[in-house]
């Protein structure tokens, strides 16, 4: 049965994602992508008039995959604290994948960000959305919002470390550091709450 337009698109995007992630964006031409996807060059250009269109489609697909995988891990966790720590469980599973080559957005930004504003923008949006996601989880435990930035930096550092060293346990070390930060933030929040209660009592007695 002949494939429809969308099926061809997804076939090309999947092939491009594999090639770009393993070989880099600049080294893969449209001819190589045509061969890997098993489509004609005419079909390829009909669906993606430029290489930049393919690159952006790949990065948008990676954003969806990241969000779905992260949500799956976080939603499976119980308490708000456990949901925050589940982020690092997600990273651990990812780092253990055989084809792990680091964050596709960091890779894309490093390779193309200086000359391609579209790539730079989507890479920044991805990182900002991750911090915002952590911010929502941090809000649920009732601590200072700055914790979200700290936890994001731990996650980003773990991704880079695992990609360069090949050590998947970077996620475990980041999780351990996250536990320290989360518990310290909870303790500060508890102390602040107790102090406010004490002041309220003193004021009312006066």
Q: CATH number for the domain including 75? A: 1.10.357.10
**Does residue 169 lie within any of the structural domains?**
yes
Please report whether residue 203 resides in a domain.
no
pLDDT value, residue 190: 77
Q: What is the model's pLDDT at position 204?
A: 53
Q: Are residues 163 and 65 in the same domain?
A: yes
Tens-binned pLDDT, residue by residue, of the chain (206 aa): 457 899 999 999 999 999 999 999 999 999 999 999 999 999 999 999 999 999 999 999 999 999 999 999 999 999 999 999 999 999 999 999 999 999 999 999 999 999 999 999 999 999 999 999 999 999 999 999 999 999 999 999 999 999 999 999 999 999 999 999 999 999 998 765 444 443 444 445 55
Specify whether 75 is located in the same domain as 151: yes
pTM, two decimal places: 0.87
DSSP state of 1: -
The Cα 8–Cα 39 span in angstroms is 8
How many other β-carbons are positioned within 10 Å of the β-carbon of residue 118?
14
Count of domains in the chain?
2
In this structure, are 128 and 172 located in the same domain?
yes
Residues 146, 96 share a domain: yes
Q: What is the CATH number of the domain that holds 38?
A: 1.10.10.60
Residues 43 and 79 in one domain: no
Instruction: Assess whether 33 and 98 both reside in one domain.
Output: no
In a domain, 205, yes or no: no
| 20, burial (CB in 10 Å: exposed 0-12, middle 13-18, buried 19+) | buried
Residue 43 and residue 70 in one domain? no
Confidence (pLDDT) at 195: 42
Range of the domain at 176: 59-198
């Amino acid at each position: 049965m002949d494939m429809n337009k969308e099926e061809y698109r997804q076939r090309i995007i999947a092939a491009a994602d594999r090639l770009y992630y393993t070989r880099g964006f600049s080294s893969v031409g449209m001819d190589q992508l045509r061969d890997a996807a098993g489509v004609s060059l005419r079909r390829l250009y009909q669906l993606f008039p430029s290489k930049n269109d393919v690159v952006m489609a790949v990065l948008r697909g990676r954003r969806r995959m990241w969000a779905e995988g992260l949500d799956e891990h976080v939603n499976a966790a119980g308490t708000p604290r456990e949901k925050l720590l589940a982020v690092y469980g997600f990273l651990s599973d990812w780092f253990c994948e055989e084809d792990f080559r680091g964050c596709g957005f960091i890779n894309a930004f490093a390779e193309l960000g200086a000359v391609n504003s579209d790539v730079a923008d989507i890479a920044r949006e991805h990182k900002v959305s991750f911090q915002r996601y952590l911010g929502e989880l941090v809000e649920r435990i009732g601590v200072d919002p700055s914790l979200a930035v700290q936890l994001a930096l731990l996650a980003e550092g773990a991704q880079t470390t695992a990609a360069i060293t090949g050590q998947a346990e970077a996620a475990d070390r980041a999780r351990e550091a996250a536990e320290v930060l989360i518990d310290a933030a909870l303790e500060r929040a508890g102390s602040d709450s107790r102090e406010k209660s004490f002041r309220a009592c003193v004021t009312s007695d006066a």
